[in-house]
Amino acid sequence: MNLGYINGKFVQLDELVVPIEERGHQFGDGVYEVIQCYNGHPFMLEEHLQRLIRSCEAIRLPITETLADFRDIIFSGIEKSQMQNGKVYLQVTRGIAERNHPFPEVPVSISMTLKEMEPMRTEYRAQGVHAITHEDERWAKCYIKSLNLLPNILAKQVAQEAGCFEAILVRDGHITEGTSSNIYMVKDGKVITTPLSNHILAGITRMAVKESAEELNIPFVEKNFTVKELLEADEVFMTSTLAEVLPIVKIDGADIGTGSPGDITNKLYIHYQELKKRAMEVMK
């Protein structure tokens, strides 16, 4: 069943539990992680929690919880909800206090939802998805997984209204990432993606794809590239926790390569499934 959690208490998702003067609600003053579970096991949990703690440190959230504490909360939720294939949404905010900009001296708030999910639509995997390019209007610290997602939401809505799955963001003429994904192009047998910087999130699935590419002896190149280079790529794909490895076959109305998912994208997706299987075996 779907389940919620807030500050030490498990709740139903329709319970009214967030106070009006909660800083996540009023300011977006917090950070989050989304973790995919397969057969009741959270995939790459350590990496997600390490990134959560880095995000807390980056916005000076005074957490006392350790990585092990967060792990215990998540596994308790999985056990109580009996979730098998779904997602954990974990959020930490600066807490409950009178609305005022300076940091309050109050405990942080920790909340979580656990929801069963249907797998990605098979036609997306088999046929690929469409995307648009969109100006990157976000702030200068996109490496923080912050609750402040309004520019992402607006760009994603433009994509949806254009009948597309994702908006690929462009800053100073170069690709940064998607609204909720990292973006890659394949050219001459090489996987090329934007280098890590303040302007993109260090994706957890990005880490796994880099590992897959290395094991498959596919060159993995981190360098900046333009919209023109993207449109001239042999293949394009995106990665995220929920989408995994997903081919993009059309951008701004133009076909990428043959207009079908490419061989390297498919190889990386298959290898990603192997990484999941290995991780599940270790956790048994």
Which residues carry out catalysis? 145
DSSP track, 170-193:
EETTEEEEESSSEEEEEETTEEEE
Residue 81 CB neighbours (<10 A)? 22
DSSP track, 31-94:
EEEEEEEETTEETTHHHHHHHHHHHHHHTT------HHHHHHHHHHHHHHHT-SSEEEEEEEES
For residues 87 and 192, what is the distance between their CA atoms, to the nearest angstrom?
28
The CA-based diameter of the chain, rounded to the nearest angstrom, is: 57
Hey, is 32 helix, strand or coil? strand
